[in-house]
């Protein structure tokens, strides 16, 4: 990757009050690694800290973030006595979807139960942590050698939600080989 030229840095110093901190490597929990293929964004440390916080280090890992046969209902099992624990976990998982689109659908489903989570919902959220424990090195590659072709993909289902019978949809937008939305 090419660095910003000294002339450009000098111009920015003249126009703005700023400090040159060098190449970006870590920002708001997102790790930035430059390679020949492009810029790789990940949240490995964020995942390790999350696993520490929920005492899930060394847990048995899973290959999928959500059981494909489970249909979560709002009335399943007993309500959690302290729903804020579940709400904080889901909020942290939502932030993690910035670099982990593989958990976005599962986190979206779990976030529908934030107002009254049950123990079943909390177990499903802990399953996501077990999945993350086995896939900490994943992230997003912003490819440096791909065309500027814009591609969009979408999928939806008809009345899938067992609680409201609403449809669910999702999308992915790529610029070349890099996901942008």
pLDDT, one tens digit per residue, over 152-162 is: 988 877 776 66
pLDDT at residue 1, as a whole number: 42
In a domain, 84, yes or no: yes
In a domain, 180, yes or no: no
In a domain, 95, yes or no: yes
In a domain, 17, yes or no: no
Q: Which residues does 71 contact at the CB level (< 8 Å), separation at least 6?
A: 162
Under-70 pLDDT residues of the chain = 1-4, 160-163
Interval 94-135: pLDDT, tens: 999 999 989 998 999 899 899 999 999 999 999 999 999 999
For residue 50, what are its two tokens?
């999350």
- Inter-residue contact 131 to 25 (CB < 8 Å): no
In a domain, 129, yes or no: yes
In a domain, 149, yes or no: no
Print the domain residue range for 55: 45-139
pLDDT at residue 67, as a whole number: 86
Distance of CA 108 to CAs 7, 97, 105, 135, 142, Å?
46, 10, 5, 19, 24
Overall domain count for the chain = 1
In a domain, 101, yes or no: yes
pLDDT at residue 160, as a whole number: 67
What predicted TM-score, i.e. pTM, was given to this entire model?
Answer: 0.81
């Amino acid at each position: 990757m090419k660095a910003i030229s000294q002339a450009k840095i000098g111009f920015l110093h003249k126009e703005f009050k700023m400090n040159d901190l060098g190449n970006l490597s870590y920002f708001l929990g997102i790790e930035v690694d430059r390679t020949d293929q492009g810029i790789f964004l990940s949240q490995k440390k964020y995942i390790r800290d999350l696993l520490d916080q929920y005492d899930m280090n060394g847990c048995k890992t899973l290959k999928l973030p959500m059981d494909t046969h489970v249909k979560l209902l709002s009335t399943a099992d007993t309500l959690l006595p302290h729903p804020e624990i579940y709400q904080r976990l889901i909020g942290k998982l939502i932030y993690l979807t910035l670099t982990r689109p593989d958990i976005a659908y599962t986190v979206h489903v779990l976030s529908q139960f934030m107002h009254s989570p049950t123990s079943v919902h909390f177990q499903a959220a802990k399953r996501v942590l077990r999945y993350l424990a086995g896939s900490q090195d994943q992230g997003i590659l912003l490819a440096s050698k791909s065309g500027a072709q814009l591609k969009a993909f979408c999928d939806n289902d008809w009345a899938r939600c067992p609680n409201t019978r609403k449809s669910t949809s999702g999308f992915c937008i790529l610029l070349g080989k890099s996901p942008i939305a």
